[in-house]
Structure 1
Amino acid sequence: MAGGLNLGNHDIGVLAETTVPGSVRPGETISERPVDITLTMPELLRESTVTLLGGQAAEGASTDAAITLTTGGQTSTVAIPNLSSPRTDIPQQAGSPWLIPATGTVPAITVPAYAADSVALGMPKDFSIDATIHTKTTTLPAELTCGGPESLDLGSIPVSGDPVTEPTTGPTTPPTDGPTTPPTDGPTAEPTDGPTAEPTAEPTDEPGTIPVELVGSDIVAPGDTLTFSFADEWIAKKVSFELRSKPIDLGTRTVSVSGEASVRIPTDAPEGSHTVRVLSSSGELIASVPIEIEAADASDVDDTDDDYWSDDVLASAGGPGAGIAVLGGVLLLAGVAVMTLRRRAGRS
């Protein structure tokens, strides 16, 4: 949700329920199944959302939620691609608990062939959320990174029995005792004097895939949003953006399940030719994308009340420090609650 309120990194209280088999075998496939998650918001967040923003209801979705599987000394991750929460009323009375239900589907999982003793299930250390706060007159988009609690355990599934193996099939015809056709006495065709075609000067296709592409025009104005498309291997990974020649940090984003991430050009960015550098979480350069920044058309400036959350208004509320403190308390799907997890045991 490019351009929304960036609420930073926060802890979040989670109660998760799903059904799991009583035991599994190495190589066995666990069918997909629903998961119900309840997010618990702290009272301070509820009060800030209601009194400062006039929040009436909220909804949101996670683009990179996942569970982890640990067994045999190795850990793998399984994405939950459709974890979302419908529009839910925000309690208006002080002290009223603010609970947000979310649902999703855990896809089919194949138990690793190296599984031994048990498969431990767990939540990831962090995941991102795109949220929307509804007031009486408007909606406010927001984005945040949720840090997992200290305990990430979701339970475990015992591993027992022999590994699952696929049956093999035999040859479709019995083997022959000799060659199917008699050997020829000589070559079937005269050899050619040279190559049948001229070799190409260069390979026709580059190996691999293009990791990053700019979606839309490369001519933008200060304040515009740039959206980048990433190769599949970057989905759910964090990337950072930097505007050059004079380095300007454009922030860090998590690539969504649709393979996209967006950043906004600063309103004070100078005009002219620039390059947007895309970096991995380890600082490795992924791509350099050239853009041209032109002056914004004054007729495109929006002077409506939707600009209430501009930098000027935040500054009038006490300067950048105060603005950041207020936005930090406006987290839709965050809190400092302790993660309580329980599992509804069942046999698939």
Structure 2
Amino acid sequence: MDLPVIWFGVAVLAWVLFFVLEGFDFGVGFLGPLLGRSDAERGAAVRTVGPVWDGNEVWLVAAIGVTFAAFPDWYAALLSGLYLPVVAVLLLLAVRGVALEFRGKHDSARWHARCDAFLASSSLLLAALWGAVLGVLVQGLALGADGEVRAGDGALGALTRSLEPLTGPWAVLGALAGVLLAAVHGAAFLSLRTTGVLRERARLLAVAAAPALATCALAVFAAAGHPAVAAAAVLLALAAVAAWRRAEALAFAASSAAVAVVVAAVFTAHALDGPAVLLPSTLGAAGDVTLRGAAASPAALELISVVGVVVLPGVLAYQVWSYWVFRRRVASGTGRRAASREPAPAGR
């Protein structure tokens, strides 16, 4: 049994689940004020993710925990090279959580608007920052042969070590892709989980945005030649067609698959060739973080395997159950008449 390979697969799966589930959370967060023309409509958008957003973040804890326990050198290189962006992500996650939870604490349109503004800005920045971090995984960090991240010669001194990677072409492309993917994914989720005018606006946004993003993905495929990018483009085109035909469940499934394909491709971009590189060094192959070199000891991997077999399936089963409990659509209008205009989703 090749435990390093197995745990790398588990780590990638945990990161994929986090980005798929939190991807539509981020999208709903910054699309709510855009698509919701009234306080009631914006509140309906928030209620689609209100019961599940904190459960989605569990996969971030799982992903970081698995990365730390199974590949401590990989974890150390990422946190050392991206310390400031990671701190910014944690702060923005806290802002987003407070905005979501505190929105319903006071029945005032002004209070709701302030919470919506914090929710939208934090969600947008999170989508961009996470996209940039994924781009850094592709372009690599300035790692020396000793595993230390080298600081640049910028005006900020040692801080340049954390900020410079975000200015690379792959990081910038990742930030843009993160926002666009979250928008398409969030629109597909809103069209699946709401009724009335909010459902229709979200569906139309998915119809318009998914083909544009698919075209961009094809351009990236033409430049990079990675087959996963082409697969993501096809899935986004499928999401657009499904949204146009009002098959919202299929549109959301296609956008989820597109996010999953992109994230899996990023994490395995350098891991399928040669020495299985987890994080390339921009200073030369001697500084690359490899799967075998970064893996924990066999005894540690065996121990976390016992824990993982017990914990991870339970977390997954609980989350599936919670989504089943909160599966009904949220009315975007006010009153019984507005809620009854939309037919119940198929199967209920």
TM-score > 0.5 by shorter chain: no
- The structure richer in helix per residue is 2
Query: Highest Rg: 1 or 2?
Result: 1
TM-score range, shorter chain: under 0.3
